[in-house]
Amino acid sequence: MTLGNSTGGPAARERGVSAVVGAVLMVAIVVVLASVLGTMALAFEGRLADPAPTANFQAEPVLDGADNGGVPYVRIRHERGEVADGARILIRDGQGGEEEWEDIWMGDPSVDTPDYVHVDGKGSDCALTEVREGTTYHVVYETADGESQIIETIEITEQPSSSPGSYTC
């Protein structure tokens, strides 16, 4: 007469089947999770855009209009950072007007240090608001698919000491 189940009776076989079923279920769960995460990651691929260039712009309001016939202006200078396409860097005002960097006076086809633009709302940047107290300008990067990101914001906090002049666009 034997006592116990040391020879691999029915109880030992059931435990062996449980381990196999558990391992198969674990593998199935990992495969399902991997496929779900992979599908989610691929779904976002089309929404990814080129990042805005890493750049620093400095704005200098010249409210007395020196060197501009008395017409107040803002000099926006690319201080440091990546070179960018001048057609993708825009200057927008708070009223919805915008001009490409390369089309504004002193703008170049590429934006590099120490390039600058001269914004006064006249001539080459006629679509922009004239420099006055409360005027806001944004330096914006626009991707090929039309997405945009504000890189820098400039707000005129003082009334210019000279008049905008009579030049019309």
Q: What is the pLDDT of residues 59-82, one digit of tens each?
A: 999 999 888 888 999 999 999 988
Rg of the chain taking only CA atoms, in angstroms? 32
Tens of pLDDT, residue by residue over 6-39, are 555 555 555 667 788 888 999 999 999 999 988 8
Distance in angstroms (rounded) separating the CA atoms of residues 68 and 64: 9
The beta-strand segments (E) located in 41-135 are 55-62, 73-81, 84-85, 89-93, 98-100, 110-111, 116-119
Please name which of 150, 73, 57, 167 lies closest in space to residue 119, comparing C-alpha atoms: 73
pLDDT reported for residue 52: 67
What is the rounded distance in angstroms from the CA atom of residue 83 to the CA atom of residue 73? Answer: 24
- Mean pLDDT over the full length of the chain: 84
Look at the domain 55-155 and name its fold.
Answer: Immunoglobulin-like (2.60.40)
The DSSP code for 158 is: S
pTM of the predicted structure, to 2 decimals: 0.67
Span 93-146, pLDDT tens digits: 999 899 999 999 888 888 988 999 999 988 888 899 999 999 999 999 998 888
State residue 15's pLDDT score: 63
CB 76 within 8 Å of CB 58: yes
Model confidence at 166, pLDDT cuts 50, 70, 90, reads low
Which pLDDT does position 136 carry in this prediction?
94
